[in-house]
Chain A
């Protein structure tokens, strides 16, 4: 009988807890929507995340496909006759190449087709269909190919790779770096910070001194040191950034644990017979996790800047893999001649994403930090 009632009450407790959690969550969401700048940040970040996930579906081209004919093609509103001619020539060339693979055509006919305009060529190919030499389905796909090749809304880089596709695919690297570096660093920092802050002693001393050592390096310089040691590439960059990024989380969590530990509810939990692990994870952690979330959001923007900086220095993800920093680096060599688009679009992408993340981070700070609410 007694056991039953305990079970019932713990079920009630569970229900009550989850109800509180739900109402907290919904009130958090309401506050987020009401906080205009944070909400704006969240919306833009969502767009970037969706773009990263659906990059293959929404990009017009393979981001690493090089069309040297289209080298440094300007964005669509800044093109002159020559640029349009280059585009059409490239489209015709790809259509003819595809045609050559579909059916056999003799050289003379090919030369005749080559000098025609795109429109004339499609009309000529229509005749082929009427003669029954070319499938109607193939004709349509050739037409589509021709149209597709002409679509480069933001122009091309020096290697003739489509800028829009590269900017969209570049979102993947930036977001992945931001999420992985911050996520893993926060985890390491929280675990070590909780242990150091709760138990103090030699462990705290050891880790804190190691942090002092790491803090003697400017962040970027340290990341460069590690990357020089391990070589470039995506995984090494994540490692190099985490190597120092956890320190801030460690110091934050350690400090919070030091002050929380002296509060009455900890004594109450101890008297109630909870073990240390439970006190750390279920009593203290929920009370400080909001500051970890705020720090994590703000650091994510910084990590994206660091990734771009390392890629700019040629230490990050190597081209032709699309990453914003290396795109800016490749574009930099042409700016003296007034080629602005190869650097501006990836640069804008970094700025807008980091700006949105920072807006969200500051908004979360306003919403989640109870100390601010009192004021």
Chain B
């Protein structure tokens, strides 16, 4: 029964993704100006006939619905078109940048959860204590500060003033040359190849962007976990567990946490969207060579094919992440059906 529900939920994402593709494609056609002009317009070396031929090659002379069909069928094959300014397949460009974005997102997720889960638990168990009040005040600031401002403040404090962490990039360029590219994830690659200096340097580069990106997540998860823990700790079965003589720590971690995590998982799912959007800005702040920065550079160069591709990938990642969260949700709480 549960399997059918999950299958149904998976199938539901297909029409959504088609809708997303149509929406993105349509939005891109609304932009005034012609991609061929963007590519070669100002060079002056190309004749009108050649421009015309270029339009034909890019199928820009075809009517809207034919272009849409070609775009959708290309998507299925993993073909996102050719970058107008870089003259390379958009898919290749994104593939190069994607691991950096994933590494940063995971860094933020790990930072957020490592901070939030203990804080949420302690704040719930010791409600209204100093620890609770201080961490909830900090969490409130955390949800009110834009990530890019936090990032810049972190650079000012830790890179410029204290000079303990790097300001930009993923790895020292010279160390980067020594690192063999296997997965594209620097930390994983340096572990696999046993390259300790590269590993340490990658971690140093990852710390500040992860904090800047993960702070909102940490703040929200801590708040939600605290309030659901407080509710769970009042439940009868917790009293029973305590009455049976189980140790407090055991009651909290084994009995209460599992149930308190259910609303938390939903919140993490919603926050993945914030993480993906915020990631774009944080990548700009820290000159992080990921997908978001690729898109922002493309905006400046009016390279719509890249923007289109990156937005599609972001939406796809977001939909998939939500799907994953929903599935995880059913396993955490068998009572709830999808």
User: Which residues in A have some Cβ–Cβ distance to B below 8 Å?
Assistant: 212-213, 216-221, 224-226, 228-230, 301, 305, 308-309, 312-315, 328, 332, 335-336, 338, 340, 343-344, 347, 350-351, 354-355, 358-359
Contacts and interface: CB of A to CB of B under 8 A. Distances in A.
B170 to A, nearest CB: 18
Interface in B299-319: 299-300, 304, 307, 311, 314-315, 318-319
A221 B311 contact: yes
B156 to A, nearest CB: 5
A318 to B, nearest CB: 13
B140 A355 contact: yes
B20 A217 contact: yes
A354 B318 contact: no
A216 B144 contact: no
Interface stretch (B2-10, B107-115, B206-214, B269-277): B269-277
B270 to A, nearest CB: 10
Nearest to B141: A355
User: What are the nearest 7 A-B pairs in CB distance?
Assistant: A220-B277, A218-B277, A218-B273, A347-B149, A355-B144, A354-B144, A218-B276
A347 B299 CA distance: 24
A313 B319 CA distance: 24
B30 interface: yes
A221 B140 CA distance: 25
Interface stretch (B21-29, B39-47, B195-203, B325-333): B21-29
Given A228-B307, A309-B148, 5 more contacts: A217-B273, A229-B30, A355-B141, A358-B140, A358-B143
B101 to A, nearest CB: 12
B298 to A, nearest CB: 9
A21 B208 CA distance: 51
Contacts of B23: 213
Contact of A305 (B146, B161, B319): B146
A285 to B, nearest CB: 27
Contact of A354 (B145, B273, B277): B145
Nearest to B157: A340
Indicate the size class of the contact surface on chain B.
35 or more
A301 B142 CA distance: 13
The CB with the most chain B CB atoms within 10 A, among A226, A312, A314, is that of: A312
Given A229-B28, A338-B160, A344 B153 contact: yes
Contacts of B143: 358
Contacts of B285: 332
Contacts of B314: 217-218, 221
24 contacts: A213-B19, A213-B23, A216-B315, A216-B318, A216-B319, A217-B311, A218-B274, A218-B315, A220-B281, A221-B277, A224-B295, A228-B31, A228-B299, A229-B28, A229-B31, A309-B146, A313-B296, A328-B148, A340-B156, A343-B152, A347-B149, A354-B145, A355-B140, A358-B144
A350 B160 contact: no
Contacts of B296: 313
The CB with the most chain A CB atoms within 10 A, among B27, B148, B160, B276, is that of: B148
B228 interface: no
A314 B300 contact: yes
A216 B16 contact: yes
B281 A313 contact: yes
A140 B149 CA distance: 43
A60 to B, nearest CB: 25
A336 B315 contact: no
B307 A213 contact: no
Nearest to A362: B140
A219 B17 CA distance: 16
Contacts of B28: 229
Contacts of A354: 144-146
A224 B280 CA distance: 10
A308 B276 contact: no
A82 to B, nearest CB: 21
A274 B148 CA distance: 53
B316 to A, nearest CB: 9
B284 A313 contact: yes
Contacts of A315: 299
Contact of A309 (B19, B281, B311, B318): B281
Given A217-B318, A354-B145, A358-B143, A212 B16 contact: yes
B278 interface: yes
A224 B274 CA distance: 14
A53 to B, nearest CB: 23
A212 B318 CA distance: 12
